[in-house]
Amino acid sequence: MHTPRRVLLGICGGIAAYKVGYVISTLAKAGVEVRCILTQRGQAFMPALTVATLSRHQAYTDDGFWQSDQGRPLHIALGEWAELLVIAPLSANTLGKLAYGLADNLLTNTVLASTCPVLLAPAMNTDMWQQRAVQRNWQLVMQDARYHGIEPGNGMLACDRVGTGKMAEPDDMLMAIESLLHTGGQRDLAGQQVLISGGSTREHLDPVRFIGNPSTGKMGVALALAALHRGANVTLVHGPMADSLRSRLGSVQTIGVTSAAEMHRAMINHLPQADWVIMAAAVADVKPATQADHKLAKADLPALLPLAPVPDIVADLAQRRQPHQKLIGFAAQTGDIVPPALDKLRRKGLDAIVANPVDVANSGFGSDRNQAIIITRTGKQTTIPPCSKLSMAHQIFDAL
């Protein structure tokens, strides 16, 4: 048994409120206790009955502002109850109130009566978002360490305008919520430069055939997001990756590559600036000895394929790194995962290695979940039981 996590969600006026229903429902189904506050304008877009049904708890509105919770003012009780406060969609009006510490409704009073982290997901028309006053308010709020923001994205808005103003997608909000519940809002990697590799590499025989593996890059993305949410400046060097996955990366600097040689060059080029280097990519071990610039006819394919080695990226990084730089490798294994990981740790000169099974259901390549054993240079082993890849990423940073 464990104590359920507690999320208080504030809903302001805006058509993007419809997205919040998915967030509420997903959290509730995962066993998170969810309470919701609707502003007066928020109720026009998301009825209190809908919110109450999805959250399995009554929705709070300004009509009940002065009601008490077991004899205590409601905004005080809710503020003390919340482990995390999420405001989505955040309107320009409420943003202005937060910037200057104003409180004229239940939501803004609860913000001032709480000390937990606050996640903000703005949504508004492009011209509204780009107003100097709104941008000033946003920057002012973001200077407060208590606030964490997911800036709006670009696309077609409900007003038929194409531009910046779309609220973050529900899955992106859920990942930010998971991170904040794990860290409590602490930015313990602030000022750190984190260099990560992720995904697979492809070694082409011709333009349509290649040697590769099933890695999708989900673990690399999870590591990048965990580091970003903890305040780091993050660079992710990744192999071929789905657009839907890459779009989650926000302000992470991304460098797309295809082959091991391209990944090697990118990692070496960015090594000097890095404090942390995490080699999570599943890099090919060999490549075709020759590569055709046109598709080979089936009859022209060799019966025996001559192979050549590819650069040993992690070994090269280990030789070039400075004493202050932490170098962590990954070992995707089958069977007993510890012995081969220990061997790789010692041969490559790593600070730590993350051994994860790829022959276990709901783990490894392509899965949204993973499990692992972290082994440090001193021999200490930390087991990470099955969990989301984002949770595993945070536990790796915790352990190291």
CATH number at residue 348: 3.40.50.10300
387 catalytic residue (yes or no): no
| Tokens, residue 129 | 């978002």
Q: Give the span between the Cα atoms of 400 and 379, in whole angstroms.
A: 13
pTM for the predicted model, two decimal places: 0.94
CB burial of residue 271 (10 Å; 0-12, 13-18, 19+): middle
Predicted confidence at residue 63, as pLDDT, reads: 86
Q: Which long-range contacts (CB under 8 A, 24 or more apart) does 391-395 make?
A: 391/178, 391/182, 392/219, 392/222, 393/219, 393/222, 393/223, 393/225, 393/226, 393/227, 394/179, 394/182, 394/183, 394/226, 394/230
Tens-place pLDDT, residues 234-251: 999 999 999 999 999 989
Both 81 and 151 in one domain: the answer is yes
Tens-place pLDDT, residues 318-366: 999 999 999 999 999 999 999 999 999 999 999 999 999 999 998 989 9
* Greater pLDDT, 188 or 68: 188
Q: Which residues span the domain enclosing 228? A: 193-399
Both 175 and 212 in one domain: the answer is no
Q: Could you tell me if residue 188 is inside a domain?
A: no
Torsion of CA 156, 160, 166, 167, to 10 degrees: -130
Q: Could you tell me if residue 157 is inside a domain?
A: yes
Q: Which of 12, 36, 159, 387 is catalytic?
A: 159
Both 317 and 227 in one domain: the answer is yes
Both 203 and 221 in one domain: the answer is yes
DSSP β-bridge partners for residue 233: 193
Tell me: pLDDT of 203 over 70: yes
Task: Give Cα 372 distance to the centre of its chain.
Answer: 19
Both 159 and 276 in one domain: the answer is no
Both 115 and 202 in one domain: the answer is no
Amino acid at 91: S
